[in-house]
Structure 1
Amino acid sequence: MSDHHNKAARWSTGLFDCFSDCKSCCITCWCPCVTFGRVAEIVDKGSTSCGASGALYTLITILTGFGCLYSCCYRSKMRAQLGFKGNSCTDCLVHSFCEGCALCQMYRELQNRGYNMELGWQGNVEEKNRGMGMGPIAPTVEGGMTR
């Protein structure tokens, strides 16, 4: 997400601040696949879609009961991109025991960094191109092929 790593970088909200954004809390409670899919699309910078990521999360959860193992990988990826302290072990523990809260925290973090989570990656790129800045995780739009 950002090439600049701030040693003091931390989550902008706490793990248990779910009710600070009741809308995403409710979505996560009833359809965690939607929250996960939206987060994954932004973290992957559009290389995976919200629908595909959410569907895979749901499939893993239905077949194994451990969708949290998939989502904790995205927490690790997001944490590394943002320069947050931590490790994969704590990411796994957070998602194993507090999956809903962990997904909400990731969602809020991206919102607090200027992403409109409902627009997805491409929608946010288009907003940025219209001059609506997005903060430190802003996407880069590459030009066409050249010889």
Structure 2
Amino acid sequence: MGAVGGSLWHGTKGYRHSPYGERRAGAIAAIKMRAPVLGGNFGTWGGMFSTFDCALKGLRRKEDIWNSVGAGFLTGGSLAFRGGFRAARNGAIGCAVLLAVIEGVGIGMQRLMAGSTKLEVGFFPTTVRRLLTHALTQAPTPAVA
């Protein structure tokens, strides 16, 4: 995801900031230069997040949204740690909030989609009951010889 997103972002940026006749070459040069770096950074973030997520699942012995939020907090803080306490605090809080929003949207979408798959209570058994009652109350038709 990071390499694809980085290619799109830096390709567009290189295209826009190049002279008119060299835009395609400028886009490709920008992709070659910056997209692998962004892809690597995304991979680093994903690896750290997965490590913290699994560690929290093991420690808490639960699998819920708080593991993701906590892992996001630890990941954001760890990645921004070199910038000092303030940067680490802001990175941790920002990443935790982002993951809380993602988890909240995921839960909302699940509830939204689950509402359309509920069966109507009483519909199926009533229909079956009517069919069985109708079949049992009908007189058998005489066989034609």
| TMscore range, shorter length | under 0.3
TM-score normalized with structure 1 length = 0.27
**Bigger RCO (CA 8 Å, 6+ sep):** 1
If each structure's helix is expressed as a fraction of its own residues, which one has the higher value? 2
TM-score normalized with structure 2 length = 0.27
The structure with the larger Rg is 2
